[in-house]
Structure 1
Amino acid sequence: MIIGFGFGSPLTAILMLLATSAISYLIWRLFRGPGNRLNKPTRAQLRRYYQEQRERARELSRKFDISDEEIERRIDEEFKDDHRR
């Protein structure tokens, strides 16, 4: 975000506007830091990450592939076990 202001005669206002805008930009760059661009993942890294996540999701869905009835039965069993204690 760049903020600038100027007042007085038109030439003075334009110079103040340019100077304050430049100062604002430099402050913004200072707080933003140069490291933000370096830490940004590349397109290939993002693609690989999402492919790994999709494969992991497929693997987990195969491992825990149960029907809604099976889920309800397991919930009922756990609920009964908790009440017996």
Structure 2
Amino acid sequence: MIIGFGFGSPLMALLMLIITASLSYFIFKAIRGRQVNHDGRFHGDYIDVYPEQNTEEVKAQMRDYYQEQRRHAREMMREYDLTDEEIEKRIEQEMKK
């Protein structure tokens, strides 16, 4: 979306371009800021937003989250870290189906 492209002096066109870019950015940030994370918080929320929560509790929740992500990554690695022979076997099995 470009407002006033090609109208008036080059300085006016540049000013309109900057205004348009800033409007687009703020609209994007407003829309993106309303999306909710999987834990019920909005994107961009920080621990400081929830002062009533114990910081140790928040740390424990974050630690659990990252440990779960690490476990999931290792599980995916075991499933998809295949040798060439294993890949050929899987291809043959899928072709037989």
**Which TM-score band (shorter chain)?**
0.3 to 0.5
Q: TM-score, normalised by structure 2?
A: 0.38
More helix by share: 1
RCO higher in 1 or 2 (8 Å CA, sep ≥ 6)? 1
Find the structure with the greater CA-based Rg.
1
